[in-house]
Chain A
């Protein structure tokens, strides 16, 4: 570098990595999208609340031994008529503190959401890469399976998987594995989108020169797919993953709302909404309203983030 001619003005101090990141296109567009900023704040807060739920929550709603049935149906911020206890957001029909239950329910919702999307992503990317890169009968089989699965609504597929998995688990393990079964059910019902997008992008990338070059120097198919093609098809995957996260959270809530998701003694947001809707006519609105509002805020924020990400990563919209 020393013998390069210097320009008149001294170069500014080499920008640090943070600075570079701050000035990058994507962050710039983020900084200028207030909706995205707010969404990210909401999602971050909820993730933090879920992660630290055992520290924040005043009660442990999953420990039935600590529940006092007489606390049931306490309105928000009002002392219970029998026990005199007061709860921020009131209690449900079993005397569970709604605020604590929402925090713990968020844990289930987010955990199931993230894990299910991760599963769908791994599965979808792998199959999509294989189908796109190898082509031929591999492509045909994978894509026909995907087509068949697409003809069923995802929630139906999830219910089917859930039912089968529940049938084959021994009863004493059911409550422990219920969450994993949910993840499996939602993840398996959602891989098709990833596979389709990745396959499409792979078909395009496969004919590029860099792939031909890699092939010429004798790299194996696996290495080409993983090291060369995959990084170039990731941005659409990222967008789908975000939107899938919102869908997975809603799918979990739907399954639990239908009474086939999380066990009744470990309520997730969907379970709480199911319980709460039974008490709408009788005026106990808080059991439904607060969990529903939380679910709405979470799903909306994740969706808006996904929308922004899609716009930001789309070169045509720049």
Chain B
């Protein structure tokens, strides 16, 4: 009860609080969840990359509008002599936070590190057969056939210092799924604009401006200190913004947009996000443990998956759960992505037809199954899952909902211990190949690491693999369209919607919403 009263009091206090005053140079920043690990290659996950972007840098980044911008590389181009080689010229005079100089050997080391088994970034590097450093300021990527979109695979690929990694036993990527703790998971030494000062996972991370940063004169860099506090509870997070306790929040609860926008000194900044929310089902197993069907796997039947897809009323989810702040999705690629089409993204609901399909598949009496759902990762994730529980009940599928924090949830997917789960996927490369590599390709070798559906189709795998080296862009787009056709026909995933991003920001903080939901603090000017 005390907890309840405490929250109520906080809420009441917050309602009466005055407009917030941002402190001169400290940016206090909150979102629902924390970075999972500081090892930049251990988890390919949004909030994890967001923190890494302040401390580490890739060769190139996307700026707040989604366009490429040079970071550790100054320019890049395919080699004029060999179409299978990309040449990157590196920036001169860059140092790591500990003072060590940055050069091409660090890039080679980092890329090779990110290609190892425990790395979660390896899918992005499948086309690379060799990375070499002809001189300290040049790096060449040799690909297995020409790869026209290689640079877009490198925007979240952070460069770490080789000597630092060797000195601190951090050559190997942290085995995050296995629960390994390493030096690099707790400490950081990058070239980025902010230095890690202190960190208490899930509580508070403090970063201070790196005064030797190469871009001191190129970016506003008005923020001298970042205090990052995950606040899981949505109401508490908004209360913190309203009371001036924080200056910027991500994961704005949609029900509070009006209230924040109407408060003096606070703004809501909105943009469509490059991320789709969907459900996955384990269709590969012969039998699954978390359902009521013995000796068979209902998800293995495409008709069951189709029926479930047809039973979901996406407009109702948009209208009520998301309060209009989403775009119902018929495919798991957001409109930003090459390969997206309006026809594939169209949605429809037909409960009667879905019931008929269930009947046809022999599940007319339904079955029950467990759904695993994060409750601090996506906008209203638990609310969406609950709504889907109701919609599934209408076609006889009894869903037992298990909602949990993302730190417990994501290992279920990595370890394949969930049979029905929610996932959101952003596409930093803006190309369908990224989705196929992670989510559609069979989970084997260096692809399919986030495909927990057990879906495996050798023909499709071959088509996906051909994308990496296809130089004829039209032929490549035809293959992408053909792959999507299979993905849609097989109902591998149940798409829900494309997210719309809302950030709650103190008015004096000048920042544009980034479609990948990764604010890069160096762009912030304080007015």
Contacts and interface: CB of A to CB of B under 8 A. Distances in A.
Interface of A: 63-65, 67, 69-70, 72-73, 82, 93-95, 171-172, 174-175, 250, 253-254, 257-259, 263-265, 273, 277-282, 284, 292, 299
Given A277-B7, A282-B256, A282-B259, 20 more contacts: A65-B393, A69-B321, A69-B387, A82-B319, A93-B321, A171-B290, A174-B370, A174-B402, A175-B400, A250-B1, A259-B403, A263-B400, A265-B389, A265-B400, A278-B234, A278-B253, A278-B255, A281-B15, A281-B239, A281-B255
A171 B289 CA distance: 9
12 contacts: A65-B393, A65-B394, A72-B321, A73-B320, A93-B321, A94-B383, A171-B290, A171-B400, A263-B401, A280-B235, A281-B238, A281-B242
Contact of A265 (B3, B4, B8, B386): B386
Contacts of B382: 264
A79 to B, nearest CB: 16
B284 interface: no
Nearest to B253: A278
B15 A172 contact: no
A65 B397 CA distance: 9
Interface in B70-111: none
A253 B2 CA distance: 11
A15 B11 CA distance: 59
Specify which of A171, A254, A279 lies most central, judged by the most chain B CB atoms within 10 Å of its CB.
A171
Interface of B: 1, 3-4, 7-8, 11, 15, 233-235, 238-239, 242, 253, 255-256, 258-259, 289-292, 313, 316-317, 319-321, 368, 370, 375, 382-383, 386-387, 389-394, 399-403
A285 B288 CA distance: 42
Given A64-B393, A277-B7, A281-B255, A69 B313 contact: yes
A265 B235 CA distance: 21
Contacts of A172: 289-292, 368, 370, 400
A287 to B, nearest CB: 11
A277 B393 contact: no
The 10 A-B pairs at the shortest CB distance, nearest first, are namely: A65-B393, A282-B255, A72-B320, A64-B393, A64-B390, A67-B390, A69-B316, A281-B259, A281-B256, A175-B400
Contacts of A258: 3
Contacts of A280: 11, 235
Contacts of B386: 93-94, 264-265
A40 B387 CA distance: 39
A43 to B, nearest CB: 18
A67 B320 CA distance: 13
A254 B1 contact: yes
